[in-house]
Structure 1
Amino acid sequence: MEMTKAAERKSSWALLVKLARPYRGMAVAALVLLLCDICGMLFIPTELSALMNAAIEGAGTPELIHHGTAMLLASVIGSGGCVASYWIASRFAANVGRDLRVAVYKKSLDLSGTEFAQIGTGSMITRTLSDANVVQQTLLMSFVMLAPFPVTCVVAIVLAYSTDAVMGQLLLLVTAVILAISALAIKKSAPIFLRLQGFIDRMNARLREAITGTRVIRAFGKEEHAKKRLDETFEDYARNAIRVNFIFAITDATCFCFMNFVEFAIFWLGADRVGAHAMQIGSISALVQYAILILWFSMMAQFALLQMPRAMACMARAQEVLTAVPAIQDPVTPEELDGTDVQDVASFDHASFRFADASEDTLKDMDFTIPRGAVTAIIGNTGSGKSTIAKLLLRFHDVTEGKAEFLGHDIRNIRQKDLRSRIAYVPQTAWLFSGTIAENLRDGALEATLDELWHALDIAQASFVRELPEGLAAPVAQGGKNFSGGQRQRLAIARALTRKADLYIFDDSFSALDYKTDAALRHALSHELSDAAVLIIAQRVSTIRDAAKIVVLKDGEISGIGTHDELMESCQDYRDIVESQERGGGADAAR
């Protein structure tokens, strides 16, 4: 376990160094300017003590002006260095945080559905946003809180020794005690900080679940149950956060109390040293300032150090995503897609598929073709594997036996980008993105003209868009929630039709449409897509009745292939589906 943790820390540091390397110039500049800030800040009490000593000794005005001017110059240099170093450090941390977010997001796009599900949507959001923010904030604190501490301690102790060896020893003892207190606080609170990030995962997951499922919660009267679950999650986080804050409160109070004793010791011991003519009285003020600065930066460094384990845990979580090996990868030597004249656009050659954690095949011995210029349909009971066939064609999964082909090539030998650029897909759940209708339609083809967008909408029977005051510029809420289910489906179909593809897949995309709209849409599609292959996955027999080829699935196996009339003669499973829909009042479905 220790070796695993050590390897994890090493991997996290390597990732952080990799992200920071492009901005190393900014890091160096921030440290140099920070050094100017610290030197200027420590030079002021030194010159102040010299000014006081000179005044007590009756020095002339020129010497007093000299010390005052030196203090002013140190203040300008220190303040300028502080502002500039903070600004550059902020830019540095923000750039690293941005690159980490982008890297995690890009990697998430490469993961298969199974790998993404293992991580979880809530956890992926946390890793992309909250974890990256923790890393960014820790980097900034390392510059403005942690880095000044060792420099301040060394310079302050050296200056104290130059004033008086006994007072230098006192400040050295003060620094050692403060370091011991900080180390104890870090040891107690670091594990709690690590747990807090896991609690954030849980809060994100449960809050997202409660918000997206609010209608179901209200429909079943489970408001109290949902509230109780959220309260438990929030209380777990609150309890641990309170423990950390309690440790901080005790540590701060201890340090401040100790510092009061230190100030008393400096005045008492300083008076004795002045009486012994070992140092001058004005030096006492400088020593007090040195001690206060050591205390201040030790507390800041303590907070930054507490964030370090949490930041490393966040880096490890990001690294877990970045080092994940996608199950679906492009081939080393991909085959180029040409074959626009290939008759069978897609085909399955005795293909089977099994999920990684399943004990049996989801699809078994799929063997059929999807020809150009015709409609191929798939029908079957819920859970028979219909949508999985679409995912295999899009290569969201790979077949475990046999092969799936597209334009005469094994799908595994084609770049995913090339494959999907030749397929237009309408998912089972019509999802629209926030923006405008035009922006959503152009997800299918960025270069599509307004005329092409209107044409796609007309084919998809989405005439309601013409009635909207803004037309194509009409706003779309996240997920398309400001449209009805049927409107969302028609917009999703129009988005697919905007793309010129060799294969159009409609995955149960007509379920929210009434029979009249369904029939009108299929009639329009038969003319519009006459040069492409069309695969329709459906529950209603009426939707696929006129298909040139119907594939009937039952428990992941092909039960029959043929036209509607042929299957009514030869396939009992198909007849059962038709009869069940007729008995359910959907006689029109079979006519």
Structure 2
Amino acid sequence: MIRLLKRLKPFSLPLIVLLLLAFFQSMADLYLPTLMSDIVNNGISKVNSKGVVSPDVPYIWQTGGKMILVTGISMICAILVSFFASRITMGLTRNIRKELFTRIESYSMNEFDKIGTSSLITRTTNDITQIQNVVIMMLRMLITAPMMSIGGLILALQKDRKLTLVLAVAIPFLAIVIAVMGAIVVPFFKTMQKKVDKINLVLREGLTGIRVIRAFDRQEIEKERFEKANKDYTDLAIKANKIMAGLMPIMMFVMNLTSISIIWFGSKRIDAGSMQVGDMMAFTQYAMQIMISVLMVAVMFVLIPRAQASAVRINEVLDMKAEIEDPKNPEKSDEGKKGYIEFKNVSFSYPGAEEKALSGISFSAKPGETTAIIGGTGSGKSTLINLIPRFYEADGGEILVDGKEIKRMTQNELRTKIGFVPQKATLFSGDITSNIKFGSDNASVEDIRHAAEIAQATEFISNMKEGFDSEIAEGGSNVSGGQKQRLSIARALVKRPEIYIFDDSFSALDFKTDAKLRAALSKETKESTVIIVAQRVSTIMNADRIIVLDEGKVVGIGTHRELLNNCDVYHEIVASQLSEEEMA
């Protein structure tokens, strides 16, 4: 928590102003009981020359005017304290949220897998909200509370030292109660945030997989899953709040008992002539101010444990060292080898896996050529191409792009050279134009239309009511799989990169559209390196080079005809898709 609060440094000037305002507010609030005491002692209880109590009206008006003025100052200071506290807190949480999101964006896929998407969402939203709630309370209460309690104690001692013994019993008792309850409830709050992660996970799976859930008629089971996760969180929250709920009654009991004690012992001292009525009233007010300050601290103790748990979770994300980092002294790529890719004995294994996903991978791809990758399910095709843009880091060997090892290049420079179309087509909320323009901010209207035409997307776009301005729902849920793939391809084309990577990006297309798209692509990508991962043999038959993978190893490299004669794995794949006549 302290580490996150250090990020208040940019707000030093507003904090100083807030501290000054809080000081003036506290001084004004502490001065009010003194003025009230003066009115009672010198204005209302004044005895004239005849021994009769005669109120001093001018004095009462004069002192009452001062009270109104002081109250006004206190009110203005309180409003400004709330304003500055809100501004500082919102600025702090905005910066933390930005820092957290930026940090998450720098993670490799391995870090995403370690923490989990649902937990990252919780940490960026709910956990930061917990920090926000505590910080704003701290700025509004925790600064004022010590000033009020210390000032109140000093003034109470000035009024009557012996009567202060009542506070010497009440305040330590409250402090012990708060400390004990805080120690009991902290573990509950830590667990509660993990329960929120679980709710997010179940909810996210339920929403993203709604079609599958309905198709298999699993709605009731999913409801039960969510209800269980929700009940776990609810039961724990109720248990924690039951413990904390006991704090307020104890506080009120002690405060009321303190007031009764002050009046009881104060009346005896008034009777003995050791104290005036106004002083006792002022002392009661000071005692209440001290107790309210302790109550503020108690409220903070309710919030701090949960915020502390959230702070630990946020720091865990900020402290996690990214597996893939840019080199300190990056090297520029060789302009003479633009678009050139080479794998040299590359191996890779997923964290915790017993066997390597890839081993001994060596091949090269040149500009103006199409390199295809094919293999059975789980052979490592997608894993291989995910190593090129450094989504994962290779365990061994070297991957060269433009003649330079990719670990010696910045991730930004590397990925600028690549137009990547993932296996699972992803679109963003907005319109068709913004989704295609996602590949290049500088793309003109003509560039967008040209890319859509090559991707064979113009026909279905023109049939939509608003054309290129048609809205795309979150995740592209209002377009078909084939349409999503074509828009994803257009997004990569508008970038005009050196290297195109298509990860099984034609699987949702019919054979006619597939053939048209590949014919248009071959003309558009004449000067670029093209890597295609495909399941369909018809998609890659005309590739300049076909790489056949089996169990993470290269078992054949060559053209379609060469591999038919030399590679048994490729022959089996072809035979499973084409007839004897088509193979011939």
Q: Does the TM-score normalized on the shorter chain lie above 0.5?
A: yes
Q: Which amino acid aligns with 2:35?
A: E
After superposition, the Cα gap between the structure-2 partners of 1:306 and 1:322, relative to the gap in structure 1 and judged at 3 Å, is: same
- Aligned pairs for 1:126-525 within 5 A: 126-339=122-335, 341-342=336-337, 345-463=340-458, 464-525=460-521
* Structure 2: distance between partners of 1:246 and 1:399: 52
Deviation at 1:481, TM superposition (A): 0.9
Task: Show CA shifts across 1:380-439 (max 9, x none).
Answer: 111101111211111112322221111111111111110110110000000011122222
- Pick aligned residue for 2:11 from 20, 23, 29: 23
* Structure 1: distance between partners of 2:390 and 2:149: 60
Aligned position for 1:14:
3
* Structure 2: distance between partners of 1:558 and 1:56: 103
Deviation at 1:327, TM superposition (A): 1.5
Deviation at 1:188, TM superposition (A): 2.1
After superposition, the Cα gap between the structure-2 partners of 1:251 and 1:365, relative to the gap in structure 1 and judged at 3 Å, is: same
* Structure 2: distance between partners of 1:588 and 1:440: 42
Say yes or no: does 1:55 pair with 2:65.
no
Q: Does structure 1 retain, via aligned residues, the 8 Å contact 2:339–2:528?
A: no
Q: Does structure 2 retain, via aligned residues, the 8 Å contact 1:578–1:590?
A: yes
Aligned position for 2:49:
none
Say yes or no: does 1:561 pair with 2:525.
no
Q: Does structure 1 retain, via aligned residues, the 8 Å contact 2:349–2:355?
A: yes
Deviation at 1:308, TM superposition (A): 2.2
Q: Which amino acid aligns with 2:2?
A: W
Aligned position for 2:50:
none
Aligned position for 1:540:
536
Percent identical: 37
After superposition, the Cα gap between the structure-2 partners of 1:517 and 1:588, relative to the gap in structure 1 and judged at 3 Å, is: farther
Task: Show CA shifts across 1:10-63 (max 9, x none).
Answer: xx523431x111112222221221122222122222212221222121353332
Deviation at 1:281, TM superposition (A): 1.4
After superposition, the Cα gap between the structure-2 partners of 1:402 and 1:345, relative to the gap in structure 1 and judged at 3 Å, is: same
Deviation at 1:563, TM superposition (A): 1.3
After superposition, the Cα gap between the structure-2 partners of 1:335 and 1:307, relative to the gap in structure 1 and judged at 3 Å, is: same
Deviation at 1:491, TM superposition (A): 0.5
* Structure 1: distance between partners of 2:240 and 2:393: 47
* Structure 2: distance between partners of 1:206 and 1:278: 69
Aligned position for 1:41:
29
Q: Which amino acid aligns with 2:22?
A: L
* Structure 1: distance between partners of 2:302 and 2:244: 10
* Structure 1: distance between partners of 2:478 and 2:140: 47
* Structure 2: distance between partners of 1:589 and 1:348: 33
Q: Secondary structure at the match of 2:152?
A: helix
* Structure 1: distance between partners of 2:488 and 2:285: 68
Q: Does structure 1 retain, via aligned residues, the 8 Å contact 2:374–2:547?
A: yes
Q: Does structure 2 retain, via aligned residues, the 8 Å contact 1:545–1:590?
A: no
Q: Which amino acid aligns with 2:97?
A: R
* Structure 2: distance between partners of 1:589 and 1:143: 77
Deviation at 1:472, TM superposition (A): 2.2
Aligned position for 2:546:
550
TM-score relative to the length of structure 1: 0.93
Deviation at 1:561, TM superposition (A): 1.3
Deviation at 1:512, TM superposition (A): 0.4
After superposition, the Cα gap between the structure-2 partners of 1:67 and 1:292, relative to the gap in structure 1 and judged at 3 Å, is: same
After superposition, the Cα gap between the structure-2 partners of 1:588 and 1:256, relative to the gap in structure 1 and judged at 3 Å, is: farther
Task: Show CA shifts across 1:223-253 (max 9, x none).
Answer: 3322222222212211221122212322211
Q: What are the ranges of 5 or more consecutive residues in structure 1 without an aligned counterpart?
A: 1-11
After superposition, the Cα gap between the structure-2 partners of 1:499 and 1:588, relative to the gap in structure 1 and judged at 3 Å, is: farther
Q: Secondary structure at the match of 2:387?
A: helix
Q: Secondary structure at the match of 1:393?
A: coil
Deviation at 1:199, TM superposition (A): 1.4
After the TM superposition, which of the residue ranges 505-514 and 173-182 deviates more from structure 2?
Answer: 173-182
Q: Does structure 2 retain, via aligned residues, the 8 Å contact 1:433–1:440?
A: yes
* Structure 1: distance between partners of 2:541 and 2:296: 73
* Structure 2: distance between partners of 1:494 and 1:479: 16
Aligned position for 1:3:
none
* Structure 1: distance between partners of 2:145 and 2:4: 26
Deviation at 1:197, TM superposition (A): 1.4
After superposition, the Cα gap between the structure-2 partners of 1:556 and 1:92, relative to the gap in structure 1 and judged at 3 Å, is: same
* Structure 2: distance between partners of 1:417 and 1:571: 38
* Structure 2: distance between partners of 1:508 and 1:377: 10
Task: Show CA shifts across 1:473-501 (max 9, x none).
Answer: 22211111111111111100000000011
Task: Show CA shifts across 1:483-526 (max 9, x none).
Answer: 11111111000000000111100000000000000000000001
Number of matched pairs: 575
* Structure 2: distance between partners of 1:310 and 1:445: 43
* Structure 2: distance between partners of 1:177 and 1:367: 74
Aligned position for 1:8:
none
Q: Secondary structure at the match of 1:577?
A: helix
Q: Which amino acid aligns with 2:219?
A: E
* Structure 1: distance between partners of 2:504 and 2:582: 15
Q: Does structure 2 retain, via aligned residues, the 8 Å contact 1:545–1:564?
A: yes
Q: Secondary structure at the match of 2:364?
A: strand
Root-mean-square deviation (CA), in Å? Answer: 1.9
Q: Which amino acid aligns with 1:82?
A: A
Q: Does structure 2 retain, via aligned residues, the 8 Å contact 1:426–1:506?
A: yes
Q: Secondary structure at the match of 1:348?
A: strand
Q: Does structure 1 retain, via aligned residues, the 8 Å contact 2:178–2:301?
A: no
Q: Does structure 1 retain, via aligned residues, the 8 Å contact 2:438–2:491?
A: yes
Deviation at 1:208, TM superposition (A): 1.2
Aligned position for 1:4:
none
Deviation at 1:373, TM superposition (A): 0.8
Deviation at 1:372, TM superposition (A): 0.9
Q: Secondary structure at the match of 1:364?
A: strand
After the TM superposition, which of the residue ranges 90-99 and 355-364 deviates more from structure 2?
Answer: 355-364
Deviation at 1:292, TM superposition (A): 2.9
Q: Secondary structure at the match of 1:282?
A: helix
* Structure 2: distance between partners of 1:147 and 1:588: 85
* Structure 2: distance between partners of 1:176 and 1:114: 51
* Structure 2: distance between partners of 1:182 and 1:150: 16
Deviation at 1:350, TM superposition (A): 2.1
* Structure 2: distance between partners of 1:589 and 1:506: 25
Deviation at 1:297, TM superposition (A): 2.9
Q: Which amino acid aligns with 2:345?
A: H
Q: Does structure 1 retain, via aligned residues, the 8 Å contact 2:163–2:262?
A: yes
* Structure 1: distance between partners of 2:339 and 2:19: 65
Task: Show CA shifts across 1:276-305 (max 9, x none).
Answer: 222221333323333333333322211212
* Structure 2: distance between partners of 1:438 and 1:156: 65
Deviation at 1:119, TM superposition (A): 0.6
- Pick aligned residue for 1:529 from 489, 502, 525: 525
Q: Does structure 1 retain, via aligned residues, the 8 Å contact 2:342–2:362?
A: yes
After superposition, the Cα gap between the structure-2 partners of 1:351 and 1:245, relative to the gap in structure 1 and judged at 3 Å, is: closer
Deviation at 1:170, TM superposition (A): 2.0
